Amino acid sequence: MNNFHVMDHPLIQHKLTMIREKNCGTKVFREVVNEISMLMAYEVSRDLPLEDLVIETPLMKTTQKTLAGKKVAIIPILRAGLGMVDGILELIPAAKVGHVGMYRDHDTLQPVEYFVKLPSDISERQLFVVDPMLATGGSAVAAIDSLIARGAVPSSIKFCCLVAAPEGVKVLQDAHPDIQIYAAALDEKLDENSYILPGLGDAGDRLFGTK
Ligand code: PRP
Ligand code: URA
């Protein structure tokens, strides 16, 4: 399926290598996740709708393009998705931000939803669902199911992650074939605990300095 896009721009690959390194500390990890997210936002927002706007340059009146309304919402999957929000807001500062709280149960590996707060008009918005890690795909599918149950339009949802496992990409594609998936890297596989290899470890813990 061609709804999976790897953004292998040199700057993105370089920055991703920095945060994969196990000695990368919380401060740099957080900063670089934001930088990669900003770079990814440039591509993920490529097909935002434009409309005509009549303006005056110092020389003449002219019709030019402007973004059609403030119709984007960024939806981080808590916690780790929070780390990607500020970088995207650098490029799309008027975007609204909704939150879906989801954690992966350590024993069952099943996603557990614990919080949802969304803009009231999500059915009219382009939604960028963000989470650094797409591992089994369980959290992404559950979060997107939850958005659709609350009125989001599947074809208006894009999922954006830093590191994807092939297993998770397939699960998300099978569950939501209409959704475009963007990743900074497609890694090799999952380990026996469903961590991504080579991956970058536990993204939430590394972003927030917890264990
Ligand atoms: C991580 C990650 C994803 C999920 C990916 O979150 O941020 O949400 O795991 O795994 P999956 O594709 O197998 O569902 P985690 O559950 O560790 O919660 P956290 O963000 O609060 O750390
Ligand atoms: N969640 C993470 O934070 N990292 C992984 O490798 C898999 C799930």
Please compute Rg for the chain using Cα positions: 18
pLDDT of residue 152: 97
Alpha helix positions (H), 163-210 = 166-175, 203-208
Least confidently predicted of 55-69, 104-118, 122-136: 104-118
In this prediction, residue 107 has a pLDDT band, given cuts at 50, 70 and 90, of: confident
Backbone angles phi, psi at 14, to 5 degrees: -60, -45
Closest residue CA from atom 4 of ligand 2: 202
What spacing in Å lies between the alpha carbon of 178 and ligand 1's midpoint? 22
Average pLDDT on 165-191 reads 98
Check pLDDT > 90 for residue 105.
no
pLDDT of residue 1: 61
- For residues 127 and 192, give the distance between their C-alpha atoms in angstroms, rounded to a whole number: 32
Q: With contact defined as beta carbons under 8 Å apart, do 83 and 160 qualify? A: no
Task: Indicate if ligand 2 lies below 6 Å from the C-beta of 190.
Answer: no
Q: With contact defined as beta carbons under 8 Å apart, do 82 and 57 qualify? A: no
Render pLDDT for 62-104 as a digit per residue (tens, 0 to 9): 999 999 876 899 999 999 999 999 999 999 999 999 999 998 8
- For residues 123 and 71, give the distance between their C-alpha atoms in angstroms, rounded to a whole number: 10
133 is in an annotated binding site: yes
Beta-bridge partner residues of 189 = 197
Which region holds residue 11: left if phi is over 0, alpha if psi is between -120 and 50, else beta? alpha
pLDDT of residue 209: 95
What spacing in Å lies between the alpha carbon of 75 and ligand 1's midpoint? 14
Q: What is the pTM assigned to this prediction?
A: 0.95
Nearest residue to 208 (alpha-carbon basis) of 56, 29, 1, 11: 29
Ligand 1 atom closest to the Cα of residue 202 is 17
Encoded amino acid at 199, one letter: G
Q: With contact defined as beta carbons under 8 Å apart, do 207 and 28 qualify? A: no
